[in-house]
Structure 1
Amino acid sequence: MAYDTDLADRIRELVAAEHGVDERRMFGGLAFLINGNLSVAAGNKGGLLVRVPPPESDALAGDDRVTPMVLAGRPRRGWLHVAATADDDDWVGQWVARGVAFARTLPAKGGR
């Protein structure tokens, strides 16, 4: 399954005012990087991939809509899959903001 282009457009709108944003195809989806650090992506299995502080991963993955991201059969701390569509406006906005805020705490990559 390809990523949800409507969801990618919604993310693009939400990060439009941010500085240092770059879009890249990653993980079969469309990722939005902040100063070279992945913050959020429209995932290839639907929904969002959101980067969060690793120590907060377990607490944030508390319901059916938020689960650990699994890569190569293993859950990855600091990455969550968030079930969402472009119509879930407040929900998407909250998670995009969370991913952007965390990415802003990381050292810039690529000379940004």
Structure 2
Amino acid sequence: MAYDINLANRIRERLFELPNIEEKAMMGGLTFMYNDKMCIGIIKNELMCRIDPAFHETAVEKPGCRTMDFTNRPMIGYVLIEQDAIKIQEEFDYWINLCLDFNKKAKSSKKQKSK
């Protein structure tokens, strides 16, 4: 499954000055890890945002936002944003900032040890 390279470049440009950013192919798209924690991603042509679960219900009321539901299982704290909802830089920055703010208190996935 391909992801939108233009959206990937917008994210790269926005995160350029941050330390500890790592890109990983994940979920058929691209994920940006920040401080070893999943932060932002792209699935097809949508922005995937990891946000504070306490803000989830408010977020999905915003235009172009919906709950991420991989394998028909809603994932609270993960939302997908349609491209039309992030055309304007202020809208794009709003979602990126939500992800970065939550990243400070998000728990890191434990790394698997090599055998």
Same fold per TM (> 0.5)?
yes
SS at match of 1:2: coil
- State the alpha-carbon separation in 2 of the partners of residues 32 and 60 from structure 1: 20
Aligned to 2:20: 20
Point out which structure has higher relative CO (alpha carbons under 8 A, 6+ apart).
1
Matched-pair contact (CA < 8 Å) for 1:34–1:104: no
What's the offset of the Cα at 1:98?
1.2
Identical-pair percentage:
24
- State the alpha-carbon separation in 1 of the partners of residues 42 and 17 from structure 2: 18
Unpaired runs of 5+ residues, structure 1, are: none
Aligned to 1:72: 71
Inter-CA distance 107–19: structure 2 relative to 1 (3 Å threshold): farther
Aligned to 1:60: 59
Matched-pair contact (CA < 8 Å) for 1:36–1:108: yes
Matched-pair contact (CA < 8 Å) for 1:51–1:79: yes
Unpaired runs of 5+ residues, structure 2, are: none
Q: Could you report, residue by residue, the CA deviation over 1:91-112 in whole angstroms, capped at 9, with x for unpaired residues?
A: 22211121122112235566xx
Inter-CA distance 87–65: structure 2 relative to 1 (3 Å threshold): closer
TM-score by length of 2: 0.84
What's the offset of the Cα at 1:88?
3.4
Name the count of aligned residue pairs.
109
TM-score by length of 1: 0.86
Decide which structure has the larger Cα Rg and report it.
Answer: 2
SS at match of 1:79: strand
Q: Could you report, residue by residue, the CA deviation over 1:48-76 in whole angstroms, capped at 9, with x for unpaired residues?
A: 00001112111110044010001110110
